[in-house]
Amino acid sequence: MRRGDLVTIAGRIGGDYEGKPRPAVIIQSDDFPETDSVTVSPLTSVDADAPLLRLRIDPTPTNNLRHTSWVMIDKIATVRRVNIGQAFGRLDDAELVQLNRALPVFLGLAG
């Protein structure tokens, strides 16, 4: 599992997202492979028209998504590794750059 990989997460990830398996992108640094959990941002197929909080990802052969999806920057969660499936795809370099720009803005770490 690497930062930028798309995976399926299951189990409790907090709030309204309990128990529903859903795709997510790994946002945790690759420098911490031994932790019991991994930090992710879930994906949704619902466009919230919030460009600072939602990163649009269109289906490609690299990401293997079936539908246009949005990374929910505002729904960051830490999930136990046992609740994360194998990577089924990956964000491309341009999408990773967008993700890298959006996360610090949302977390108040930019500027």
- Could you read off the pLDDT of 16-41 as tens digits, one per residue? 555 679 999 999 999 999 999 999 99
Flag whether pLDDT at 15 surpasses 80.
no
Confidence of residue 46 (pLDDT cuts 50, 70, 90): very high
- Taken in order of first residue, the domains within the chain and their CATH numbers are 5-107 (2.30.30.110)
Helix (H) or strand (E) holding 39: strand 37-44
